[in-house]
Amino acid sequence: MSLLAMMVPILPGKKDVWLAGIEQMKSAEVKPSTDALREKAGVHERTFLQETPNGDFVILTYEGDNPVESYAKIMAGIPEDFAKFAMDVHGLDVNAPPPALPSLVYDSRS
């Protein structure tokens, strides 16, 4: 298994919108399809909120055989309403080429 971790900013003044979106994503109506998209992409996603004095950030982790490829599959399969949400809250265009993904620079077990 491989791991990809990335950080996405929450734009100023959008934390409450983000929190409401996460609650909707976790709802009984939406969570099954959200989880199925991740499962189909071959990855386990975890989402964290990191609040800092310099702004709020989302930390995403993707764990699977090829999490970079899985991230691309997830972005390609995101529903239009979530794509609009990502643009509004993060300034992230899911239809654009992916942002630079992070590089692992330290691992205490290797």
Interatomic CA distance for residues 13 and 89, integer angstroms: 9
- Asked if CATH classification 3.40.30.10 holds for the domain at 2-90, the reply, yes or no, is no
pLDDT along the chain (110 residues), means of 10: 94 98 95 95 97 97 95 91 95 87 91
CB 77 within 8 A of CB 95: no
pTM of this prediction? 0.89
pLDDT at residue 95 in the model: 87
**Structure-token match 């949400």, residue found:** 85
